[in-house]
Structure 1
């Protein structure tokens, strides 16, 4: 391995891989929570929804559309003031997490809304006819019925997050993107770039495999 990749520092590479996993998993949890809230709000406040409200729906939809439209490479710069306020710096794995969450939560929120809209309205109407509370409809009907689609959407989001961590790494966030750019590309050590690329692809396959497996286990159709 040393002969094939003479410039790769394997201990440092393992640390970078761990940082990529750390950023992806923590940001994915944040995107899951915020994305679920945004998706539910979009669905419930839409015309005919349980909380039908034109103004809240427009505000939420605008927020989602705006942050989905901003390229992550630009978004991370726009959030520098917030990152520096919270952590005192924009460098490092933890300071990159808020930008990763903001960059992916609106995307997942739309996937949540789509998943909820695929539920048969008759099921919701039946629950209402039986006098079920709104909270019961949300947790026992909407979320329960859409779990396979929600997990599938989370899988897609996790893959996008892996790519975002690589972008964040190019400005000092750590991880494989950081290692590939600063120790590989800038120093013309393209064996480092190659190895980091392979590891990122492997990480993507891991998340895809886990997501597909969970979706199949949860889908009772």
Structure 2
């Protein structure tokens, strides 16, 4: 297969991979962030301490994280058909990708938020801030570099999961690798796809690291005490 033959196939498969990963990341960002913060708030000593809710949410997150993605992919076929009307293609693969990413990101968010200095929380409360104010003005801003790092890890995991979904007709680069690289013995095509996936993951990691460094520097500058004037 020549490069001219590969180009349109790669272009379409890459676009499908971006769509799968992008939608799943957005869903995980919203729901995973909410679940992670909820786990912190409802834990023992939290602002909304409720151990029953914490145990239930924690159990759901643990079950979601423990299932291998391939099993989740198959187990969610009825739900996937109900949501998007089909069980094949990139649209269908997006559903289990999003479901699998939510608990994955939620645990990372929980760890990031737990690392926030309790003194900041107490300061907001001392000024009469509500629970929402504490989350908005203390927990999320201070944990932002860690949250971005966690999101970077989640996106990289989703790229790998999307390639895995391609083995069962999920579209994207994984499906292209199986259809042409494996079944049609196009070794050169397989090598090109592997290189593209490596470059994609590397780019995501570099962008994530850059964002974390910028946010960390801004946070450090914001927390520096004002120097007394001389004279």
TM range, normalised to the smaller chain? Answer: over 0.9
2:90 pairs with 1:93: yes
Give the match for residue 194 of structure 1: 191
Q: What does 1:44-193 align with in structure 2 at a 5 Å threshold?
A: 44-193=41-190
**More deviation, 151-160/86-95:** 86-95
**Alignment coverage as a number of residue pairs:** 218
Query: What value does the CA root-mean-square deviation take over the aligned residues?
Result: 1.4
What is the distance in 1 between the residues matched to 2:84 and 2:22?
Answer: 19
What is the distance in 1 between the residues matched to 2:43 and 2:179?
Answer: 47
Q: TM-score, normalised by structure 2?
A: 0.91
1:162-195, Cα deviation, whole Å (9 max, x unpaired)? 0000011111111100000111111222212111
What is the distance in 1 between the residues matched to 2:95 and 2:47?
Answer: 31
The unaligned stretches of length 5 or more in structure 2 are: 221-231
1:108-152, Cα deviation, whole Å (9 max, x unpaired)? 101100011101111111211221011111111110111000000
What is the distance in 1 between the residues matched to 2:47 and 2:70?
Answer: 37
Larger radius of gyration: 2
Q: Tell me the CA shift for residue 34 of structure 1.
A: 1.1
Give the match for residue 215 of structure 1: 212
Q: TM-score, normalised by structure 1?
A: 0.95
Give the match for residue 224 of structure 2: none
Q: Tell me the CA shift for residue 105 of structure 1.
A: 1.2
The unaligned stretches of length 5 or more in structure 1 are: none
Q: Tell me the CA shift for residue 9 of structure 1.
A: 2.0
What is the distance in 2 between the residues matched to 1:104 and 1:85?
Answer: 19
